[in-house]
């Protein structure tokens, strides 16, 4: 079977109410070659991507098919995060895949990561042993000002705190519910809290339990198909 290179050229062409002949004329390519590219029979090179983007009056990246984000009920706990306790980088030797995995009661995007809360300074909002879920890429700090967030400081410490502007430009204050604030820190990573799995509502996945869960989900997907 010939390899297919999917794109959105046909979809966008129809939105622009252009015939394939009109699009071919705009690109300077033959109708047959335009059709083969549109049908995914030919790979869309950078040169042709720019050519079609100009002809369709869109950005080059708009021609690409963006895969749907996959979701999973397994999430990696990438470390511990301080809610009263300081988590220093030298205290943990974390492998790339994280400390351990847990099964979540709801599906999450594949770019979701989790941290286990250590300490009680954010009680009653967060308990020691809770799991907080956030997105791996993080956000700009301005998006979480006044809110609780997972943060990493310039010294490598991780905290779960309420983020406020600091006294000096580029610094921030980290507030707790029942502990003194940490003032004037610089942040290298900030992520909003997307969800919380309460202590006692999660357990570590053993390799055998993970395999069984994958088999269960695979069987369920086959039935739906």
Q: What is the pLDDT of residues 25-64, one digit of tens each?
A: 999 999 999 999 999 888 888 888 899 999 999 998 889 8
The helix or strand, by DSSP H or E, that contains position 24, with its residue range, turns out to be helix 20-27
Q: Which tens digits make up the pLDDT trace of 159-171?
A: 999 999 999 999 9
**pLDDT higher than 90, residue 220:** no
d(CA 114, CA 64): 31
State the Cα angle at 46 between 44 and 51, rounded to 5°.
Answer: 85
Enter the pTM of the model.
0.59
Tell me: the pLDDT tens digits for 107-137? Answer: 888 788 899 998 888 888 899 999 999 988 8
End-to-end CA distance of the chain: 22
Q: Return the percentage of the chain with pLDDT > 90, whole number.
A: 42
The rounded distance, in Å, linking the Cα atoms of 174 and 185 is: 8
Answer whether residue 1 shows pLDDT above 60.
Answer: no
CA distances from 108 to 49, 164, 216 (A): 33, 28, 17
Q: Any idea which residue has 């809290």 for tokens?
A: 193
Mean of all residue pLDDT scores within the chain: 84
Cis peptide upstream of residue 152 (ω within 30 degrees of 0): no
In the beta sheet, which residues pair with residue 164? Answer: 173
**φ/ψ (deg, to 5) at 157:** -85, 145
pLDDT at residue 215, rounded to an integer: 62
Residue 2: what are its φ and ψ, rounded to 5°?
A: -65, 145
Question: Residue 41 has which token pair?
Answer: 């029979």
Decide which of 68 and 146 is more confident. Answer: 146
């Amino acid at each position: 079977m010939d390899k297919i290179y999917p794109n959105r050229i046909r979809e966008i062409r129809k939105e622009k109410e252009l015939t394939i002949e009109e699009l071919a004329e705009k690109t300077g390519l033959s109708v047959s070659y335009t059709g083969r590219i549109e049908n995914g029979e030919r790979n869309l090179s950078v040169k042709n991507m720019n050519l079609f983007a100009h002809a369709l009056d869109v950005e080059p990246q708009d021609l690409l098919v963006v895969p749907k984000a996959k979701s999973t009920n397994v999430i990696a706990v990438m470390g511990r995060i301080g809610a009263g306790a300081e988590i220093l980088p030298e205290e943990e030797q974390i492998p790339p895949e994280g400390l351990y995995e847990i099964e979540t009661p709801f599906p999450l995007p594949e770019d979701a990561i989790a941290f286990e809360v250590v300490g009680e300074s954010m009680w009653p909002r967060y308990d020691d042993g809770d799991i907080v879920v956030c997105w791996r890429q993080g956000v700009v700090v301005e998006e979480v000002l006044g809110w609780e967030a997972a943060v990493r400081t310039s010294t490598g410490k991780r905290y779960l705190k309420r983020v406020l502007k600091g006294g000096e430009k580029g610094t921030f204050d980290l507030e707790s519910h029942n502990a003194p604030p940490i003032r004037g820190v610089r942040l290298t990573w900030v992520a909003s809290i997307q969800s919380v799995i309460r202590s006692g509502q999660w357990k570590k996945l053993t390799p055998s339990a993970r395999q069984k869960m994958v088999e269960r989900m695979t069987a369920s997907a086959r039935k739906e198909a």
